[in-house]
């Protein structure tokens, strides 16, 4: 009888400890239902000037040591996600050029660019694309020297992990990684994740991301600060390794149970960079990298809804510019306009400060003659768990006084 009581108590405790995780599963079910409801309100694409090419930047394979991911898995995941491009960023290895050895060119209809992720002698971490064997001596160079060398070779440099770095502010880098998925994912606490996985993983392996996704406030501040002086584009990095999760393994290394938070297939769905290129123009490595370098792109958490159709533009007397562009002010005012495919909360930000907000709408307009760096953040305010986290972060339009 006593043993029976003991078993009942243990079962009761087990049930009580699981109750919050069962509730958390219900929250994700609710999120899924709301995402589906929102999708039904999608507005057809009105603008046909640009083609929206979606892809991921900052991806590691087995080359470079930190990951076990194969080329096969990466190509397959890109294809399943219907991506247009993937920018690989391999860590250098002493005896080979990982930049030359990684994926490049078109595979299964997806364009791959071979890049590197390096650490400089100053301790800064940079993404360089396209890259080559010269990435191997990055560790001996100062950040400024490396950025200048990359620039002279026509390579693009992006500051990764801006909060960890030091010397990059004084250099002529091109872009900044304002969101890093790996940094967010590393905040996972193993025990709660194990229970969440137990209840939620099987039905919502990607929506679990809603629990750890955070607004990159500090990086956004660094970016706004950097833009006071010149144009700097922003990207989101997937930093995909396919190595975060929990598992039970046999001594042989064979997995009995393996739940990965960041297999490529899921990582490539969570956050993406959308690049706008004139419809009808050729899509290849040159046009892609040129559009990225010009800031003709925006960041979106595609997992929560497809953002395709989003546009941030400036108009004056029938002429139009888009995010990433710069235009000189004259006596005529400029009309700034943001359009989203789904009803949302839209913020217009000037030099890091919110100057206008629209709620429950698919467009925001603002007429101005004030110089500054303007950008847009969009929030899916009706979705539980993520209402306060950005869905879309645009690149900036710069209005300047003619020199």
Chain contacts with Zn ion (rule: CB under 5 A):
117, 239
Neighbour tally for 358: CB within 10 Å: 18
Give the span between the Cα atoms of 140 and 149, in whole angstroms: 13
* Least distance from Zn ion to the Cβ atom of residue 129, Å: 13
Which of 71, 283 has the CB closer to Zn ion?
71
Q: Pull the structure tokens for residue 157.
A: 């440099």
* Least distance from Zn ion to the Cβ atom of residue 65, Å: 11
Which of 239, 302 has the CB closer to Zn ion?
239
Buried b (16+ CB within 10 A) or exposed e, 134-154: bbbebeebebbebbebbeeee
Q: How far is CA 235 from CA 163, 166, 219, 396, in A?
A: 15, 19, 11, 12
Which of 117, 325 has the CB closer to Zn ion?
117
Q: Which residue is nearest to Zn ion (CB)?
A: 239
Give the span between the Cα atoms of 234 and 156, in whole angstroms: 12
Neighbour tally for 43: CB within 10 Å: 13
* Least distance from Zn ion to the Cβ atom of residue 350, Å: 32
* Least distance from Zn ion to the Cβ atom of residue 110, Å: 20
* Least distance from Zn ion to the Cβ atom of residue 115, Å: 11
Give the span between the Cα atoms of 57 and 195, in whole angstroms: 31
* Least distance from Zn ion to the Cβ atom of residue 180, Å: 8
Which of 47, 122 has the CB closer to Zn ion?
122
Which of 216, 307 has the CB closer to Zn ion?
216
* Least distance from Zn ion to the Cβ atom of residue 117, Å: 5
Neighbour tally for 378: CB within 10 Å: 25
* Least distance from Zn ion to the Cβ atom of residue 174, Å: 18
Give the span between the Cα atoms of 47 and 310, in whole angstroms: 9
Which of 90, 196 has the CB closer to Zn ion?
90
DSSP one-letter code for 134: G
* Least distance from Zn ion to the Cβ atom of residue 171, Å: 20
Query: What 3-state DSSP class applies to 107?
Result: strand
Neighbour tally for 331: CB within 10 Å: 5
* Least distance from Zn ion to the Cβ atom of residue 182, Å: 7
Contact call for residues 317 and 302 (beta carbons, < 8 A)? no
Which of 84, 117 has the CB closer to Zn ion?
117
Give the span between the Cα atoms of 117 and 131, in whole angstroms: 9
Which of 174, 239 has the CB closer to Zn ion?
239
Give the span between the Cα atoms of 110 and 56, in whole angstroms: 11
Which of 119, 215 has the CB closer to Zn ion?
119
H/E stretch holding 131: none
Which of 237, 324 has the CB closer to Zn ion?
237
CA atoms within 13 Å, Cβ hemisphere of 112: 27
Neighbour tally for 56: CB within 10 Å: 30
Closest CA to 184 of 65, 64, 270, 292: 270
């Amino acid at each position: 009888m006593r043993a029976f009581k003991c078993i009942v108590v243990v079962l009761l405790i087990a049930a009580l400890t699981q109750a919050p995780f069962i509730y958390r599963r219900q929250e994700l079910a609710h999120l899924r239902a709301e995402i589906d409801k929102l999708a039904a309100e999608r507005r057809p694409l009105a603008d046909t000037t640009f083609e929206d090419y979606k892809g991921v930047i900052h991806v590691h394979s087995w080359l470079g040591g930190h990951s076990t991911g194969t080329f096969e898995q990466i190509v397959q995941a890109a294809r399943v996600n219907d991506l247009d491009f993937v920018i690989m960023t391999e860590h250098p290895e002493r005896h080979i050029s990982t930049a030359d050895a990684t994926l490049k060119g078109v595979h299964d209809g997806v364009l791959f660019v071979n890049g590197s992720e390096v650490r400089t002698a100053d301790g800064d971490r940079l993404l360089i694309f396209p890259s080559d064997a010269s990435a191997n001596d990055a560790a001996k160079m100062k950040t400024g020297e490396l950025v200048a060398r990359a620039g002279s070779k026509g390579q693009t440099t992006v500051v990764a992990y801006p909060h960890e770095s030091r010397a990059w502010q004084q250099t002529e880098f091109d872009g900044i990684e304002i969101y890093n998925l790996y940094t967010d994912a590393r905040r996972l606490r193993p025990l709660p994740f194990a229970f969440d996985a137990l209840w939620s993983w099987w039905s919502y392996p990607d929506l679990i991301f809603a629990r750890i996704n955070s607004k990159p406030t500090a990086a956004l501040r660094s970016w706004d600060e950097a833009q006071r002086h010149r144009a700097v584009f922003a990207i989101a990095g997937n930093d995909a390794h396919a190595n975060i999760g929990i598992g039970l393994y046999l001594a042989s290394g064979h997995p009995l149970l393996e739940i990965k938070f960041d297999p490529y297939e899921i990582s490539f769905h969570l956050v993406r960079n959308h690049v706008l290129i004139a419809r009808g123009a050729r899509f290849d490595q040159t046009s892609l990298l040129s559009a990225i370098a010009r800031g003709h792109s925006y960041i979106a958490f595609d997992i929560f809804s497809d953002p395709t159709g989003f546009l941030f533009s400036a108009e004056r007397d029938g002429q139009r510019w888009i995010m990433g562009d710069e235009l000189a002010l004259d006596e005529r005012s400029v009309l700034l306009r943001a359009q989203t495919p789904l009803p949302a909360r839209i913020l217009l930000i000037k030099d890091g400060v919110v100057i206008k907000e629209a709620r429950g709408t698919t467009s925001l307009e603002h007429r101005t003659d004030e110089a500054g760096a303007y950008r847009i953040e969009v929030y899916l305010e009706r979705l539980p768990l993520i209402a306060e986290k950005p869905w879309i972060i645009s690149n900036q339009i710069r209005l300047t006084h003619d020199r």
